[in-house]
A and B are shown apart, each in its own frame.
Chain A
């Protein structure tokens, strides 16, 4: 079945440093979504990427979708303490059901 893998599992940075998490799918995706889950909270939608090679920016966050639509990345520039949480990618398989399959997430901690 479809698998979505994320690395790293954990990342600890000093405030002001950059952070990147990578997502890889075993199947070609029709789209990929990114969610953020704060400690004790529930996943909250950040963004969706649909097109091959697409790049989207939200303030200090940059999201990329690979040319083959099997991988994606999230990059945060100059992390802040408010960026703390777990970042999940989630994909929908091209030609499959509409179910969204999540990766295991990357837990980001930021040292002030």
Chain B
């Protein structure tokens, strides 16, 4: 595709529910990143995929958060038992090969609101 696509653009859910956020990277990009951005803050690293495998998941805040990328392209970020503190914009980014210092191409994000 022309750019990184994220769906949905907005998601409103109730506390305790399960949500899935989808990211479709730029075609051919092997590296995919998930970040979370709260209002007035910088993007906070969550997880980084190189192909199908998670190369670094050190940013996932707890075991309620999980991400997959089964075929090395589309990725899904899954959040179980959502809490109000999970409300934020979830940004996905991709880069051609994930090499050190490659620039990231960001999607427009999913605004998650947990009521």
Interface string of B21-51 (1 = CB under 8 A from A): 0000000000101010000111111001000
User: Which of A4, A31, A44, A103 makes the CB contact (< 8 A) with B101?
Assistant: A31
User: Which of A42, A44, A88, A92 makes the CB contact (< 8 A) with B100?
Assistant: A92
By a CB distance below 8 angstroms, the chain A residues around B105 are 45
* B101 with A33: CB separation less than 8 A: yes
- How many angstroms from the CA of A104 to the CA of B41 in the assembled complex? 5
Interface bracket on B? 20 to 34
Q: Is B12 an interface residue (CB 8 A)?
A: no
**Which A80-105 residues sit within 8 Å CB-CB of chain B?**
88, 90, 92, 97-105
* B100 with A30: CB separation less than 8 A: yes
Q: Is B113 an interface residue (CB 8 A)?
A: no
* A100 with B33: CB separation less than 8 A: yes
Interface string of A45-56 (1 = CB under 8 A from B): 100101000000
* B100 with A43: CB separation less than 8 A: no
* A97 with B103: CB separation less than 8 A: no
Q: Is B8 an interface residue (CB 8 A)?
A: no
By a CB distance below 8 angstroms, the chain A residues around B33 are 99-100
User: Could you list 30 A-B pairs, sorted by A, with CB under 8 Å?
Assistant: A30-B101, A31-B100, A33-B104, A41-B108, A42-B91, A42-B108, A43-B43, A43-B104, A43-B106, A45-B104, A45-B105, A48-B101, A90-B43, A92-B100, A97-B55, A98-B31, A98-B48, A98-B56, A98-B98, A98-B99, A99-B56, A99-B59, A100-B45, A101-B45, A102-B42, A102-B44, A102-B45, A103-B42, A104-B41, A107-B40
Measuring CB to CB, which residues of chain A are less than 8 angstroms from any residue of chain B? Answer: 1, 4, 6, 30-31, 33, 41-45, 48, 50, 88, 90, 92, 97-105, 107
